[in-house]
Chains A and B, each alone.
Chain A
Amino acid sequence: MNFSFVGDNFLSLTVTGLTQGAIYALVALGYTLVYGVLRLINFAHSEVFMVGTFTTAVVWTALGYGVNDPAPGALGVVLLVVVAMLAAGAASGATGLVVERVAYRTLRKRNAPSLIFLISAIGASVALFETMGALTDRQPRGIPVLLKVKEVFSLFGASVTNLQIVIIVSALAMMVLLDLFINKTRLGRGVRAVAQNPDVAALMGVNKDRVIMLIFVIGGIMAGFASVLYDIKVGTTTYTVGFLIGIKAFTAAVLGGIGNLRGALLGGLLLGVVENLGAGLFGNEWMDVVAFIVLVVVLLFRPNGLLGESLGRARA
């Protein structure tokens, strides 16, 4: 137990944790959207994220921006990030759609129990990451350094870097946009209606299948955005990258209350901070253990997560 270290670095550990948590939160949105509407764990979502990480690398290489090139100027950074986000969002959204069509739709028509959905999703997940493994010869792939990390300002002694600002700000912006989309637009109202009661929504003229496709695509796009931020932060990817991020993001979704968008944000940020502080306290190797123990403790006292479950009801 290293109390003095945590005491001295509390703020900087928190900022690092928030950065990691922002990525968890974006991925957690995919889990939470699907769970909120269909009441099932989309186990293949981690692979949707994985596809995004590779898309970014491929697109940047295609634009002539290699691993060893120097970091571009501010305009170049913005341009590259926007292009990568568009490409990764499109690729991940398409992957999510394919997963829904191939792995879920036939089962949905038959009202299969959720265990069967889980197995099908595991199958889709294995097939996706094995395909990527075969395509990349199972080698990790380096990603060009986009930002030269430097301190922008210091907050009570904790340094905040440009990288952290970019990640946290863009993740928060995505969240706000998604929240507005679900709460304010017509399509979002359809999503909420199906989440609340699929049968009545269908009777009221909501096209259920289209809503379900929509949530898979939106979840995929969010995972794609998260994958770009992940690439900028970590600088390398491999075909098994999705597994751990997926589990963490799902944990974050459950922590905040699965099926609840704001819960995913809260859960993601909280999980990132808690596991970073835990790592500071007990050592890096215990990071995941801390994360899961916090989850169990929270579920003991709040069985539906911190903010409660429902996508439709939370702010009806």
Chain B
Amino acid sequence: MNAVISKVRQADEGRVRAVTGLRSRWSNLPKPWRFAVVAAFVILLYSLPGLELPIISTPDTDFNSVLFLCAVYVLVAVGLNVVIGLAGLLDLGYIGFYAVGAYTVAILGSPNSPVVQKFPWIVCVPIAIAFTMVSGVILGWPTLRLRGDYLAIVTLGFGEIIRVFALNSTITNGNRGISAVPSPGGDWPSWMSWFPGIDAGTKIFSITNVIGFYWLALTIVIICMLGVRRLENSRVGRSWLAIREDEDAAEIMGVPTFKYKLWAFAIGAALGGLSGALFFSKQTFINSQSFDLFTSILWVAAVVIGGAGNQLGVALGAVLLAYLPERFREFADYRLLAFGIALIVMTSFRPQGLIPSNRRSSELKDRAKEVTVGE
């Protein structure tokens, strides 16, 4: 048993060296080259619905819907990464924000909701983002003064409260839910019909042909990832980093920790709300059953497994979480079990995640050195 473990460790070390080598080689490439590679990758992502790829396509479900789900999960992970990976706040009830965003769009835009005044989709989404930001501040204001572990249980409670509220309140139509959630309008123009799967004159955003939604989600994901990347390297991002590494020291060095923690919460919440709004615009139907806490906990796991603090890492974690269950539908009974075992194995071999952030893995190394007496 121990021999096997040490073999796996060795193989893993080899992989780490390869990745580090790749990374330094990547940063030594001239800028135009790097730009070209990234551009090619982005074009590949956009053209995925049209390429009938043999192995990665999903035989049992519509591949475009899976792609869309992946994009939404990546957006969730990017938002959750701001809270967990950058600011180091453990939020187990992130799905509450996702629900607030989704319900705001549904209530303000659907003809079947109890609210009389209706708005078009393009107006609903900014309102939803604003609403979730406010809900993030409302939740954060009293609770961010608490220490890490207490924050976990309080956020968990928040997620549950939102779900119970959605289930029992009249404004959300209770368990009947809200149908006809609005989606953006428009038809495919004739010059787009060269792309496989697109028929000119049909709706761009419909539940039967998800290409339009996938492209929209992908675009939003790219914009948000670039935005968060800018934030990371700004004054705000450095403050988050300082808070994550040592909150007391950061406070003494003059970082207003409470303010920046609140910002992390609000920005994370806004991204969560946006992803919820996006997902349920495609789904066109919403009720409280979509918002169980367990999903929220799986999201946290995806972020940490992918590599908290590194956007590529969390994106990979999210894609795996969304994609693998759809790909392996025939093993539906055992896929969660496999996921649980994978979590245990991953954390004991790679606590820094699949694609770790440089700084975070050096923090982990520091901690490992500080192993106490008696071990």
Q: Are A41 and B149 in contact (CB under 8 A)?
A: yes
Q: Are A285 and B373 in contact (CB under 8 A)?
A: no
Q: Interface majority SS on B: helix, strand, loop or mixed?
A: helix
Nearest CB on A from B7, distance (A)? 16
- The stretch of A76-84, A114-122, A161-169, A181-189 in contact with B is A114-122
- A65 beta carbon closer than 8 Å to chain B: no
CA distance A40 to B147 in the complex (A): 13
Chain A interface size band reads 35 or more
Nearest CB on B from A234, distance (A)? 20
Q: Are B297 and A208 in contact (CB under 8 A)?
A: no
CA distance A130 to B152 in the complex (A): 24
- A145 beta carbon closer than 8 Å to chain B: no
- The stretch of B41-49, B187-195, B335-343 in contact with A is B335-343
- A92 beta carbon closer than 8 Å to chain B: no
Q: Are B150 and A303 in contact (CB under 8 A)?
A: yes
Contacts A120-B344, A286-B168 known; A114 to B157 CB distance under 8 Å? no
- A62 beta carbon closer than 8 Å to chain B: no
Contacts of A106 in B (CB 8 A): 348
- Complex interface bits, A89-104 against B, C-beta within 8 A gives 1, otherwise 0: 0000000000000110
Contacts A111-B371, A250-B153 known; A123 to B347 CB distance under 8 Å? yes
Contacts of A27 in B (CB 8 A): none
Contacts A109-B375, A289-B164 known; A296 to B157 CB distance under 8 Å? yes
CA distance A203 to B362 in the complex (A): 29
Contacts of B164 in A (CB 8 A): 285-286, 288-289
- Complex interface bits, B347-375 against A, C-beta within 8 A gives 1, otherwise 0: 11001000000000001100110111111
Contact partner, A118, options B90, B160, B342, B346, Cβ 8 Å: B90
- B305 beta carbon closer than 8 Å to chain A: yes
Nearest CB on B from A107, distance (A)? 6
Contacts of B160 in A (CB 8 A): 247, 288-289, 292
CA distance A105 to B154 in the complex (A): 27
- B301 beta carbon closer than 8 Å to chain A: yes
CA distance A300 to B375 in the complex (A): 37
Q: Are A203 and B373 in contact (CB under 8 A)?
A: yes
Contacts of A107 in B (CB 8 A): 347-348, 351
Q: Are B367 and A247 in contact (CB under 8 A)?
A: no
**In the complex, which residues 105-163 of chain A have their Cβ closer than 8 Å to any Cβ of chain B?**
106-120, 122-128, 130-131, 134
CA distance A110 to B368 in the complex (A): 5
Q: Are B340 and A41 in contact (CB under 8 A)?
A: no
Contact partner, A289, options B156, B161, B337, B374, Cβ 8 Å: B161
Contacts of A299 in B (CB 8 A): 143, 146, 150, 154
Contact partner, B372, options A103, A202, A296, Cβ 8 Å: A202
- A10 beta carbon closer than 8 Å to chain B: no
Q: Are A251 and B153 in contact (CB under 8 A)?
A: yes
Which B residues fall within an 8 A CB radius of A? 84, 90, 142-143, 145-150, 152-154, 156-158, 160-161, 164-165, 167-168, 293-294, 297, 300-301, 304-305, 308, 333-334, 336-337, 339-344, 346-348, 351, 363-364, 367-368, 370-375
Closest 4 CB pairs of A and B: A123-B343, A202-B374, A126-B340, A292-B157
